[in-house]
Amino acid sequence: MNKIVAIIDDEPDIVELVSLHLTKAGFKVKGFFDAKSFYQFLHKEIPDIIILDLMLPDIDGIEICKYLKMNEKYSLIPIIMLTARGDESDKVLGLELGADDYVTKPFSPRELVARVKAVLRRGKLSQQERKIIKIDNILKIDLQKYEVYVNEKKVGLTTTEFKILEILSKKRGWVFSRDQLLDYLWGDDKIVIDRTIDVHIKHLRDKLGPAGKFIKNIRGIGYKLE
């Protein structure tokens, strides 16, 4: 699936030029000339990376950056700032607010494409460090925060349900028997029958909604995530 790049710049020529080079590089590009149209898009779809001009007609780019980084739903989206030469204080402020990189105008479109690729690679590594598991852009499991999101909406799971999802997601495609899952959950303290797992799985699937389909029942053996 092509990565989505959102570019916000009030100069149509720049949006067109950058879109052309990014599309050639295999990205899907969404262009916006002001903050309002970008925010409308953001409420429907979340891009993989944002290229943000600091000088916009309606809302300052720094304010957009601040809004994104303070909002849990959007805080992980990488941001590359476009700045005019000499705006060093804006650059510093943007980076302090959490922007990932900056490019000064005028710029080389090829260099910008390279920066986009580099920031996305770094983001992938940092996600691995944070132990975030993403499945099919629907299910996101944050193993450090013990949080699960389905289509960007947080799902409340019990500790047992989360641990079942954790072990299945860490070894995707592996089939775990009910006994193996019971051992993982309760070890030597287990005094429950293996059908308890079926009840927890049912509740887990129900809570995950459209992502529940990833948990497969292997008849007579157990469960796997794929």
Residue 216: pLDDT band (50, 70, 90) is very high
| Model pLDDT for residues 33-47, shown as the tens digit of each residue | 999 999 999 988 899
End-to-end CA distance of the chain, in Å? 17
Does the pLDDT value for residue 85 go beyond 70?
no
Burial of 225 (0-12, 13-18, 19+ CB in 10 A): buried
Which pLDDT band holds residue 6 (cuts at 50, 70, 90)? Answer: very high
What DSSP letter does each residue of 78-141 carry, written as one string? Answer: -EEEEEETT-HHHHHHHHHHT--EEEEES--HHHHHHHHHHHHHHHHHHHHHHTEEEETTTEEE
Tell me the C-alpha distance between 119 and 5, whole Å. 12
The domain locations on the chain are: 4-130, 134-225
Write the DSSP symbol of residue 2. Answer: P
pLDDT 10s digits, 169-213: 888 888 888 888 887 777 655 455 556 788 889 999 999 999 999
Give the mean pLDDT of 77-86. 80
Q: What is the pLDDT of residue 188?
A: 56
CB 65 within 8 A of CB 40: no
Give Cα 143 distance to the centre of its chain: 14
Domain 134-225 has CATH 1.10.3720.10: no
Which one has a higher pLDDT value, 5 or 189? 5
Spatial separation of the C-alpha atoms in residues 184 and 177, rounded to whole Å: 11
CATH 3.60.21.10 fits 4-130, yes or no: no
